[in-house]
């Protein structure tokens, strides 16, 4: 995209015509992330100070925040020109960042995943899977990488949950269309990283069964059932039990 664009799905980045710009210190990048997450609404000085320093903010926090805003304005002014531009405006006791939503990877990710779900609901599974792959390709690492504090941790958790849901939907679409080999490889890795996420095991069982590997699918069920019992004292949830029953019934 010509002009300025922003990345929050990984380390905080600013690009101009494809070239990365220096967005400053971690705290300055935190201010930029707050304004971008505000999606054009006013972000107050109190919100910024609270997110950057928490309840123990120094007396200099407001002055420091205004310095960061001034530096970001110079950065964006320097990137102005043809294509997409961005502007930080004063708004009451705070600021708002005005930018084309298509220039912000978080916004594009959310819009594209919504379009994918609409396509899926219309029965256009191949298009839905294509859109989800495009949305997931926007991720360059953990969301808001490099930003600390409870505010950013909360936003990071929210965004990572959106990513996980999109990945699960893409796997389900791929398996439903018979594209199981890559799904099995990815889901095997995913269940190792998040061993208690039952939906991942359910999808893995479905993919294995679809490939004619029923014994492996049932073995996967036994592994997650044992893991849940030994570590958490829980039984598999209804989704896993239904998948197990369906696969078992096909063996009779």
pLDDT of residue 84: 61
Instruction: Considering only the C-alpha atoms of the chain, give the largest distance between any 2 of them, rounded to a whole number of Å.
Output: 73
- As given in the structure block, the two tokens for residue 246 are 């369906």
| Structure token pair of residue 17 | 């015509």
Q: How much is the pLDDT for 10?
A: 98
More confident: 55 or 9: 9
Taking the mean position of all CA atoms in its chain, how far away is CA 121? 22
Is residue 95 within 8 A of residue 129, CB to CB? The reply is: no
Q: Residue 3's pLDDT is what?
A: 85
Topology at the third CATH level for domain 4-101: Arc Repressor Mutant, subunit A (1.10.10)
- Per the DSSP assignment, residues forming a β-bridge with 7 are 13
Residues of the chain with CATH 1.25.40.10: 105-251
pLDDT of amino acid 77: 85
Distance in angstroms between the alpha carbons of the first and the last residue of the chain: 56
Mean pLDDT over 20-29 rounds to 95
The CATH 1.10.10.10 domain(s) of the chain lie at 4-101
Helix (H, G, I), strand (E, B) or coil at 145: strand
Res 250: pLDDT: 82
CA-to-CA distance for 34 and 79, rounded, in angstroms?
20
| pLDDT tens digits along 172-208 | 999 999 999 999 999 999 999 999 999 999 999 999 9
pLDDT, residue 111, reads 97
Q: In angstroms, rounded to a whole number, what is the distance separating the alpha carbons of residues 114 and 54? A: 34
Distance of CA 154 to the CA centre of its chain: 12
Nearest to 113 by CA among 139, 136, 94, 92: 136
Beta bridge partners of 156: none
pTM over 0.85: yes
For residue 83, the model assigns a pLDDT of: 55
Instruction: List the strands of the sheet with 43-44, edge to edge.
Output: 43-44, 94-99, 86-90
For 177-226, give the DSSP string: TT--HHHHHHHHHHHHHSTT-HHHHHHHHHHHHHTT-HHHHHHHHHHHHH
pLDDT at residue 251 in the model: 74
Cα–Cα distance, 100 to 4 (Å, whole number): 9
User: Hey, which CATH number is domain 105-251, 3.40.190.10, 1.10.10.10, 1.25.40.10, 2.30.30.60?
Assistant: 1.25.40.10
Distance between CA atoms of residues 32 and 26, nearest Å: 10
Q: In the prediction, which pLDDT does 82 show? A: 53
Tens of pLDDT along 78-136? 766 555 688 999 988 899 999 999 999 999 999 999 999 999 999 999 999 999 999 99
Cβ count near 177 (within 10 Å): 12
pLDDT at position 1 is 53
Calpha distance 234→214 (Å, rounded): 24
Residues 215-247: tens digit of each pLDDT:
999 999 999 999 999 999 999 999 999 999 999
Q: What is the mean pLDDT of the chain?
A: 94
């Amino acid at each position: 995209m010509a002009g300025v664009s922003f990345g929050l799905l990984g380390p905080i980045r600013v690009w101009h015509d494809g070239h990365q710009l220096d967005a400053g210190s971690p705290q300055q990048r935190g201010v930029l992330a707050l304004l971008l997450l505000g999606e054009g609404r006013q972000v107050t000085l109190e919100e910024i100070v609270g997110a950057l320093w928490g309840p123990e903010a120094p007396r200099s926090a407001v002055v420091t925040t205004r310095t960061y805003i001034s530096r970001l304005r110079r950065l964006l002014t320097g990137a102005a020109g043809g294509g997409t531009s961005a502007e930080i405006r004063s708004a009451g006791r705070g600021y708002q960042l005005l930018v084309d939503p298509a220039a912000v990877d978080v916004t594009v990710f959310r819009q594209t995943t919504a379009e994918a779900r609409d396509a899926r609901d219309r029965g256009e599974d191949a298009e839905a899977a294509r859109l989800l792959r495009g949305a997931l390709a926007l991720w360059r690492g953990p969301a808001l990488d490099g930003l600390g504090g409870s505010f950013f941790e909360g936003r990071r958790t929210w965004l990572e949950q959106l990513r996980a849901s999109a990945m699960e939907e893409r796997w389900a679409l791929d398996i439903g269309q018979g594209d199981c080999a890559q799904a099995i490889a990815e889901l095997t890795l995913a269940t190792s990283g998040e061993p208690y996420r039952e939906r991942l095991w359910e999808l893995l069982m479905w993919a294995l069964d679809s490939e004619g590997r029923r014994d492996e699918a049932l073995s996967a069920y036994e592994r997650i059932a044992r893991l849940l019992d030994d570590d958490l004292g829980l039984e598999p949830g209804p989704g896993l039990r239904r998948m197990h029953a369906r696969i078992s019934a096909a063996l009779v």
